[in-house]
């Protein structure tokens, strides 16, 4: 235990408790002392009064009674008795030790004499004044003894109390030590949950939050790991294809096989080019989401019409019926070029994964202050389990044989985020394939 109440909960508890106990003891002593003093005052004052009264019948003038008073009342040797005559002559003094000044004030008073304070009671009896006095130190001493007696049990209890507190705190902190050990013993990549059972209520929320954090970190790590694996695959495959195509070209011996090899190589270059372009688009949009904050009102419906007519040829090549199913007039705040890329990627994705002779519908609906851009297709759809991940870069639904870059929907998501729009995926009720909905806030 450190001597300074630093960061140790236990040390701090002990120190504060010790301070509290000491303060309580001091306060109690003080109160006890005050009370005792008041009580002794009362008792002794009464005693002094009684003593004075008993002398009231008077003393013979000139009588020397010093011995008479001093002897029988040994207990009250603290008391000093003096008797004065009216003309200021001291006619009696109980002891030679104390000599008190004559006081005209009757009743109780405090007087200073020879370095001590006396409590003095004067009473007039006929032609005499009787004074009874007592040294106040006696009273204080008695009160002090009483106060000490009251406080001493508490003082004796302190070490015991400290021990008990020490033990209770230690026992209560055992679960904390256990958590600490669990965390200390784990491997760097171990993000499994800590055991929450047996935790005190004060600590369980902390452990719970820790577990939630571990979960989030695990998810982030997994996502990162997946991304790296997916990216390695998607970036290397076009290069691997190119390399093989070049080697095929080099080995081609006759004109037809050379032509075939050249065609393949050219297709491979197109694919690599497209990948690079998509990467650049993604990078530009991600950079844009931080830098370029200027937005303009964009007529989404007319933009969609434009993109649709641009894509019509590509759809026709695959005998796909691509069309606008519904178009409310709509305006959203955003970046026209980015929105164009978003719509093109959505349609491109649909065209790529819809088998020939399929159907793709684009629709724009305005409702409740939202602009909903939906693309339905008659393709194979995306299994529920994959829907969260298809928006990740380079993620490809297993079983899909597409020649895409794996970035199309990631670009859609990035642009949607830039416009504070949401991307959701459902089964297409009308066409049986996938329905992608991008929900924008309407600018009207």
Partner 1 sequence: MRLLLVEDDLMIGESVLDLLRAEAYAVDWVKDGEMADTALDTQTYDLVLLDLGLPRRDGLAVLRRLRQRKDRTPVLIATARDAVAQRVEGLDMGADDYIVKPYELDELLARIRALIRRASGRAEPVYEHQGISIDPVTREVLVNGQPVVLSAREWAVLQLLLARPGMVLSRRQLEEKIYSWKDDVSSNAVEVYIHGLRKKLGAGLIQNVRGIGYMIPKGKA
What three-state secondary structure class fits 400?
Answer: coil
226 lines the binding site for partner 1 (CB under 8 A): no
CB of 193 to partner 1, least distance (A): 24
Q: Which is nearer to partner 1, 163 or 240 (by Cβ)?
A: 240
Phi, psi of 200 (to 5 degrees): -65, 155
What three-state secondary structure class fits 77?
Answer: coil
251 lines the binding site for partner 1 (CB under 8 A): yes
Secondary structure element (H or E) that encloses residue 362, with its range: strand 359-367
222 lines the binding site for partner 1 (CB under 8 A): no
Residues 344-403 within binding reach of partner 1 (CB under 8 A): 398-401, 403
Q: Using CB under 8 A, which of 140, 178, 271, 274 touches partner 1?
A: 271
239 lines the binding site for partner 1 (CB under 8 A): yes
Half-sphere exposure of 210 (CA within 13 A, CB side): 16
Tokens found for residue 368: 């409740």
Tokens 């393709």, located at residue: 379
53 lines the binding site for partner 1 (CB under 8 A): no
Question: Of 129-137, 231-239, 347-355, 418-426, which part binds partner 1 (CB under 8 A)?
Answer: 231-239
The alpha helices in 318-430, defined as continuous H runs, are: 336-353, 384-387, 408-418
240 lines the binding site for partner 1 (CB under 8 A): yes
How many CB atoms are located within 10 Å of the residue 29 CB?
A: 19
Question: Of 109-117, 245-253, 295-303, 322-330, which part binds partner 1 (CB under 8 A)?
Answer: 245-253
CB of 216 to partner 1, least distance (A): 24
The alpha helices in 116-203, defined as continuous H runs, are: 136-185
Q: Which is nearer to partner 1, 162 or 235 (by Cβ)?
A: 235
292-301 b/e (C-beta count within 10 Å ≥ 16 → b): eeeeeebbbb
Tokens found for residue 434: 């996938």
Residues 191-220 within binding reach of partner 1 (CB under 8 A): none
Q: Using CB under 8 A, which of 97, 186, 236, 420 touches partner 1?
A: 236
Q: Which is nearer to partner 1, 55 or 279 (by Cβ)?
A: 279
274 lines the binding site for partner 1 (CB under 8 A): no
Tokens found for residue 252: 């081609």
Closest CA to 51 of 79, 17, 11: 79
CB of 226 to partner 1, least distance (A): 11
Tokens found for residue 295: 């937005």
243 lines the binding site for partner 1 (CB under 8 A): yes
Residues 126-145 within binding reach of partner 1 (CB under 8 A): none
Q: Which is nearer to partner 1, 261 or 307 (by Cβ)?
A: 261
Q: Which is nearer to partner 1, 112 or 398 (by Cβ)?
A: 398
Question: Of 188-196, 235-243, 329-337, 429-437, which part binds partner 1 (CB under 8 A)?
Answer: 235-243
CA 268 – CA 239 distance, rounded (Å): 8
The alpha helices in 364-407, defined as continuous H runs, are: 384-387
Contact 373, 349 (CB under 8 A): no
Contact 390, 425 (CB under 8 A): yes
245 lines the binding site for partner 1 (CB under 8 A): yes
Q: Which is nearer to partner 1, 268 or 334 (by Cβ)?
A: 268
237 lines the binding site for partner 1 (CB under 8 A): yes
Tokens found for residue 178: 């256990």
Please give the residue ranges that form the binding site for partner 1 (CB under 8 A).
229, 232-233, 235-245, 247-248, 251, 264, 267-268, 271, 398-401, 403
């Amino acid at each position: 235990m450190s001597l300074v109440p630093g960061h140790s909960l236990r040390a701090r508890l002990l120190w504060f408790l010790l301070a509290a106990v000491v303060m309580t003891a001091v306060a109690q002593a003080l109160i006890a002392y005050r009370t005792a003093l008041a009580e002794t005052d009362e008792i002794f004052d009464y005693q002094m009064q009684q003593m004075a009264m008993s002398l009231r019948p008077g003393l013979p003038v000139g009588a020397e009674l010093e011995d008479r008073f001093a002897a029988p009342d040994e207990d009250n040797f603290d008391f000093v008795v003096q008797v004065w005559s009216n003309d200021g002559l001291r006619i009696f003094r109980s002891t030679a030790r104390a000599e008190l000044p004559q006081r005209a004030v009757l009743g109780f008073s405090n007087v200073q004499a020879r370095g001590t304070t006396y409590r003095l009671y004067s009473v007039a009896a006929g032609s005499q004044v009787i004074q009874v006095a007592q040294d106040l130190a006696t009273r204080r001493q008695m009160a002090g003894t009483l106060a000490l007696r009251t406080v001493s049990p508490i003082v004796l209890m302190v070490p015991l109390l400290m021990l008990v507190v020490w033990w209770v705190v230690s026992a209560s902190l055992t679960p904390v030590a256990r958590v600490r050990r669990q965390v200390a013993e784990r491997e760097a990549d171990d993000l499994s949950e800590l055991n929450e059972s047996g935790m005190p209520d004060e600590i369980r929320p902390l452990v719970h939050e820790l577990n939630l954090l571990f979960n989030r970190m695990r998810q982030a790590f997994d996502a990162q790991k997946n991304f790296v694996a997916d990216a390695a695959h998607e970036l290397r495959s076009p290069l691997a294809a190119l390399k093989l195509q070049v080697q095929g070209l080099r080995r081609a011996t006759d004109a037809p096989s050379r032509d075939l090899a050249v065609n393949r190589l050219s297709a491979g270059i197109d694919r690599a080019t497209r990948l690079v372009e998509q990467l650049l688009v993604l990078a530009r949009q991600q950079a844009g989401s931080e830098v370029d904050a200027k937005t303009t009102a964009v007529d989404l419906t007319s933009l969609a019409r434009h993109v649709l007519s641009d894509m019509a040829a590509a759809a026709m090549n695959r005998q796909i019926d691509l069309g606008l199913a519904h178009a409310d007039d709509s305006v959203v705040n955003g970046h026209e070029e980015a929105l164009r890329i978003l719509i093109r990627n959505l349609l491109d994705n649909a065209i790529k994964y819809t088998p020939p002779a399929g159907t793709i519908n684009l629709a724009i609906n305005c409702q409740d202050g939202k602009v909903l851009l939906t693309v339905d297709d008659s393709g194979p759809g995306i299994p529920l389990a994959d829907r969260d991940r298809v928006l990740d870069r380079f993620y490809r639904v297993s079983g899909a044989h597409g020649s895409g870059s794996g970035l199309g929907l990631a670009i859609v998501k990035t642009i949607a985020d830039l416009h504070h729009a949401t991307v959701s995926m459902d089964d297409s009720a009308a066409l049986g394939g996938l329905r992608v909905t991008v929900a924008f806030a309407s600018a009207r």
